[in-house]
A and B are shown apart, each in its own frame.
Chain A
Amino acid sequence: MNARKKSEVGSDTLTAETISPFRDVRQQYIKSPVAVAALCVLLAIIIIAVTAPLISPQDPYDLKVIDIKDGRLKPGSPKLSKLATLSLKISISGLKKVGVPKASVTPTNRSGDTSPDAVQIILEPHAGNPYQWTVKVSPTANGHLDPLQTVNLERLPKGSKLSVGKKDKFRNVWRLSPKDTQELILTLPKTSTDVGQFRVVMSGGPQKKLMTYWLGTDDQGRDMLSGIFYGLRISLSVALSSVVIALTIGTILGLCAAYYGGRTDTLIMRFVDLQLSFPTILIALILLAILGKGVFNVILALVIVQWALYARTARGVALTERRKEYVESAQCLGLSTSRVILAHILPNCLPSLIVIATLEVAGAISLEATLSFLGLGLPITKPSLGLLIANGFDYLLAGYPWISILPGVALLITVFAINLVGDRLRDILNPRLRR
């Protein structure tokens, strides 16, 4: 009778084929490019967190690798291999005697890849004036100190003068720049004894770039990028653990309250209401003040702060579902209480719980960072992003802002991405907004 296909269901649904809820959510989720981008960023962050020890350029907590002299370097600075150093003692004798005074050079100390012959020092007395010498310092062909970086003349007799270089205000050290060393004139004070002694300390040599501090270094010389990777790892794992635990506990309590009703319900809900009426940060603060620092305590505090939210949601959904007929019919069929709860009511709670859990991860990360920033959260051995930011705060006003700003940016991006994902999930799973 009918040549064309059967009509579909009326105006407010599109197709009659069944889609599993998960696929449906996925389909809807993909429709927002912003949400998809956020999810990608989030996955990247999770991968970074999980593989932090593998992908960090440097282990920021391995003291052997950190060089405090590399502290507070700008983002993009290279980490250079250490300079070789060499120090030589120079003795000038025969100043008061007749005849030509003599100078002898003895190496006293070296480090790095040098040998005493890496540098050639020539001392020539001026004719007629034993107190004036021409000094020439040059790196030799075996190159271990070539190019020269610093040349210091230390412990010159008081009153000595050099024709080039700058004397340090506080210490008996003359600093020369490498080009000064071509030829300089040393004038010893006339009251000096027969022997004049001083030291030449040089450092130099080729420097290899070992790595680049892409995001700079903090005050201890730790690579910021690595620190941020490790920090993300810790922040994320602490937050996730707390959410999983709080979710479990809260849901169980909420379902119990809904199912057993009566006094259990009132008791549990009183606690829930009490807790939810106080700001989370205060509760966490006081808890940590009483319990003290430590990873376990922080997770405990985060759990205590969150569970009420899940409990209330689970209870709300459970109460609505409980009145529905399918629960009654399941009970009429003789299914046990726990089966009814687990198999029928729980799946209906999941959408709301998932949305809240996602957003709470962001909240937990933020809260933990705040607590660590205030010095109440994780200990220094488990540095989270909050601690990094706290470390950098003092340097903010001193001209090294990246130490504080960059971990904050990482924190911001993480929380932002999670919030976007959670928001999108909420729009999809919240029945009220479905048109």
Chain B
Amino acid sequence: MTLYIFRRFLQSIGVIFIVTALVFVGIYVIGNPVDILVSTEADQEQFDRMVKILGLDKPLWEQFLVYLSKLAQGDLGRSFAFSEPALKLVLQRMPATIELVTVAMLMALILGIPLGMYAGLHPEKAVSKTIMGASIVGVSIPNFWQGIMLIFVLAVSLAWLPSGGRGEIKTVLGITSSLWTADGWSHIITPAINLALAQCTLIIRLIRANVREIALLDYVKFARAKGLRRNRVVYVHIFKNTLVILITVVGLQFGSLIAYSVVTETIFSWPGMGKLIIDSVYILDRPVILAYLVIVVFLFVTINLIVDLLYSVIDPRIRLDGDQGSS
């Protein structure tokens, strides 16, 4: 088991290394690094100075080492727009994004799991068919347009909720978040719904397909043959097996949510990492883009690792793989 964790950990480091190397290649080899790291408004003298300072006149492998060492120290350059260390900027915005993404994921799970299980256990009923039909529509709606429509309905036509921005933040128990205030909630609901709906449809479809498959398997039939009550059959046997897939998907989807928050944050003017990167791309603030990339890769790799570990906790076949031989 420990061997397994260790192996996965090494793999994660490897991935981070590869991605940072790719980024290095992309910036220093393919693109013109000077353009990227120096503001385009510098004149020739400042230009030459910057080249020296950034060490761009040194051989490539030396630059790579410098790059790596700077990376290890957390120095990813300074933002052109804000004149602050790029990494610090990104990290500052991270909590807002995490907040949004977490609320969205919870919403999606709370709504999606029961609906998916119902549709899977009773596929013939009209309600199930409606749910499935709605889920295809849900998958098809472009996320950004859905956000626009949500604003139109909730903020413009009905005027129930604000059309953008983040609410008041408070610090409780050392955690600073807008979720402690009612104003915070009124601001987070619409963007969270926007993120959640797409996830929800995915979860519903996944759980339904899974439940349908599992319900046909022999061990479910055997459980019934033993005379177990329907509830126990459903919750213990069917659901637990669905959990395996669910955890994998939820974990992976967290990454996807962080990605889609880019669009949602832009539409709803939510001050998170996503909005930062879009703004940075517009003005070509490349140090910030780099910092964002590094942070996001790091997050993804961590999430993948956690998912793998959880997976092995739930499925004993994987857990005991290294220790005991199977039949």
> Do A and B touch, yes or no (CB under 8 Å, in the complex)?
yes
User: Is A282 part of the contact surface with B, judged by Cβ < 8 Å?
Assistant: yes
Q: A280 CA to B252 CA in the complex, in Å?
A: 12
Q: Which 9 A-B pairs have the closest CB atoms?
A: A279-B259, A408-B145, A416-B140, A415-B140, A282-B259, A279-B256, A289-B281, A281-B259, A366-B142
User: Is B244 part of the contact surface with A, judged by Cβ < 8 Å?
Assistant: no
Q: A375 CA to B300 CA in the complex, in Å?
A: 26
A-B contact pairs, 11 of them (CB 8 A): A369-B144, A370-B142, A373-B263, A374-B263, A389-B148, A397-B151, A405-B148, A408-B145, A412-B141, A416-B140, A419-B140
Q: A282-B262, A374-B278, A405-B152 are in contact. Are A289 and B144 (CB under 8 A)?
A: no
* Contact A412 B282, beta carbon cutoff 8 Å: no
Task: Tell me the B229-271 residues at the A interface (CB within 8 Å).
Answer: 252, 255-256, 258-260, 262-263, 266-267
Question: What is the minimal beta-carbon distance from B297 to any residue of chain A, in angstroms?
Answer: 8
* Contact A290 B26, beta carbon cutoff 8 Å: yes
Q: A415 CA to B300 CA in the complex, in Å?
A: 28
* Contact B142 A281, beta carbon cutoff 8 Å: no
Q: A401 CA to B260 CA in the complex, in Å?
A: 24
Q: Say which residue of B140, B148, B252, B296 sits within 8 Å of A282 (CB atoms).
A: B296
User: Is A332 part of the contact surface with B, judged by Cβ < 8 Å?
Assistant: no
Q: Say which residue of B19, B26, B266 sits within 8 Å of A374 (CB atoms).
A: B266
Q: Say which residue of A396, A397, A416 sits within 8 Å of B136 (CB atoms).
A: A416
* Contact A389 B145, beta carbon cutoff 8 Å: yes
Q: A401 CA to B267 CA in the complex, in Å?
A: 15
| Residues of the A chain whose Cβ atoms lie less than 8 Å from the Cβ of B252 | 277
| Residues of the A chain whose Cβ atoms lie less than 8 Å from the Cβ of B263 | 281, 370, 373-374
| Residues of the A chain whose Cβ atoms lie less than 8 Å from the Cβ of B296 | 282
15 extra interface residue pairs, beta carbon distance < 8 Å, beyond A281-B260, A396-B151: A274-B19, A277-B255, A279-B258, A280-B259, A286-B289, A362-B140, A366-B143, A369-B142, A370-B143, A386-B144, A393-B148, A405-B152, A411-B145, A419-B136, A420-B136
User: Is B63 part of the contact surface with A, judged by Cβ < 8 Å?
Assistant: no
* Contact A401 B156, beta carbon cutoff 8 Å: yes
* Contact B277 A285, beta carbon cutoff 8 Å: yes
Q: A419 CA to B136 CA in the complex, in Å?
A: 7
Q: B-side binding surface: helix, strand, loop or mixed? A: helix
Report the interface size for chain B: residues with CB under 8 A from the other chain: 43
**A42-57 contact mask (Cβ, 8 Å, vs B): 1 or 0:** 0000000000000000
User: Is A253 part of the contact surface with B, judged by Cβ < 8 Å?
Assistant: no
* Contact B145 A279, beta carbon cutoff 8 Å: no
| Residues of the A chain whose Cβ atoms lie less than 8 Å from the Cβ of B210 | none
B: residues with CB less than 8 A from A are 15, 18-19, 26-27, 30-31, 136-137, 139-145, 148-149, 151-152, 155-156, 163, 252, 255-256, 258-260, 262-263, 266-267, 277-278, 281-282, 286, 289, 293, 296, 300, 304
* Contact A286 B293, beta carbon cutoff 8 Å: yes
Q: A415 CA to B144 CA in the complex, in Å?
A: 14
* Contact A289 B142, beta carbon cutoff 8 Å: no
B141 to A, closest residue via Cβ: A412
| Residues of the B chain whose Cβ atoms lie less than 8 Å from the Cβ of A217 | none
| Residues of the A chain whose Cβ atoms lie less than 8 Å from the Cβ of B256 | 279
Question: What is the minimal beta-carbon distance from B279 to any residue of chain A, in angstroms?
Answer: 11
* Contact B149 A405, beta carbon cutoff 8 Å: yes
B164 to A, closest residue via Cβ: A397
Task: Tell me the A366-388 residues at the B interface (CB within 8 Å).
Answer: 366, 369-370, 373-376, 386
| Residues of the A chain whose Cβ atoms lie less than 8 Å from the Cβ of B163 | 397
* Contact B262 A277, beta carbon cutoff 8 Å: no
Q: A285 CA to B142 CA in the complex, in Å?
A: 16
| Residues of the A chain whose Cβ atoms lie less than 8 Å from the Cβ of B304 | 277
Question: What is the minimal beta-carbon distance from A83 to any residue of chain B, in angstroms?
Answer: 34
| Residues of the B chain whose Cβ atoms lie less than 8 Å from the Cβ of A362 | 140
B139 to A, closest residue via Cβ: A419
Q: A281 CA to B257 CA in the complex, in Å?
A: 10
**A67-100 contact mask (Cβ, 8 Å, vs B): 1 or 0:** 0000000000000000000000000000000000
User: Is A278 part of the contact surface with B, judged by Cβ < 8 Å?
Assistant: yes
Q: A277-B300, A375-B282, A420-B136 are in contact. Are A411 and B149 (CB under 8 A)?
A: no
User: Is A423 part of the contact surface with B, judged by Cβ < 8 Å?
Assistant: yes
Q: A203 CA to B167 CA in the complex, in Å?
A: 52
Task: Tell me the A384-434 residues at the B interface (CB within 8 Å).
Answer: 386, 389, 393, 396-397, 401, 404-405, 408, 411-412, 415-416, 419-420, 423
| Residues of the B chain whose Cβ atoms lie less than 8 Å from the Cβ of A281 | 259-260, 262-263
Q: A75 CA to B63 CA in the complex, in Å?
A: 59
| Residues of the B chain whose Cβ atoms lie less than 8 Å from the Cβ of A282 | 259, 262, 296
Q: A280 CA to B143 CA in the complex, in Å?
A: 14
Q: A408 CA to B151 CA in the complex, in Å?
A: 14
Question: What is the minimal beta-carbon distance from B77 to any residue of chain A, in angstroms?
Answer: 15
A362 to B, closest residue via Cβ: B140
* Contact A373 B144, beta carbon cutoff 8 Å: yes
B31 to A, closest residue via Cβ: A290
| Residues of the B chain whose Cβ atoms lie less than 8 Å from the Cβ of A420 | 136
| Residues of the A chain whose Cβ atoms lie less than 8 Å from the Cβ of B152 | 396, 401, 404-405
| Residues of the B chain whose Cβ atoms lie less than 8 Å from the Cβ of A404 | 148, 152
A414 to B, closest residue via Cβ: B140
| Residues of the A chain whose Cβ atoms lie less than 8 Å from the Cβ of B26 | 290
* Contact B136 A412, beta carbon cutoff 8 Å: no
Most chain-B CB neighbours within 10 Å: which of A279, A386, A401?
A: A279
Q: A280 CA to B140 CA in the complex, in Å?
A: 16
Question: What is the minimal beta-carbon distance from B112 to any residue of chain A, in angstroms?
Answer: 18
Question: What is the minimal beta-carbon distance from B314 to any residue of chain A, in angstroms?
Answer: 20
* Contact A408 B15, beta carbon cutoff 8 Å: no
| Residues of the A chain whose Cβ atoms lie less than 8 Å from the Cβ of B258 | 279
Q: A288 CA to B31 CA in the complex, in Å?
A: 12
* Contact B142 A412, beta carbon cutoff 8 Å: yes
Task: Tell me the A273-316 residues at the B interface (CB within 8 Å).
Answer: 274, 277-282, 285-286, 288-290
Q: A405 CA to B147 CA in the complex, in Å?
A: 11
**A338-380 contact mask (Cβ, 8 Å, vs B): 1 or 0:** 0000000000000000000000001000100110011110000
| Residues of the A chain whose Cβ atoms lie less than 8 Å from the Cβ of B267 | 393
Q: A290-B26, A290-B31, A412-B140 are in contact. Are A274 and B15 (CB under 8 A)?
A: yes
Q: A416 CA to B143 CA in the complex, in Å?
A: 13
Q: A290-B26, A397-B156, A420-B136 are in contact. Are A376 and B281 (CB under 8 A)?
A: yes
Q: A286-B289, A373-B144, A411-B145 are in contact. Are A279 and B31 (CB under 8 A)?
A: no
Q: A91 CA to B120 CA in the complex, in Å?
A: 87
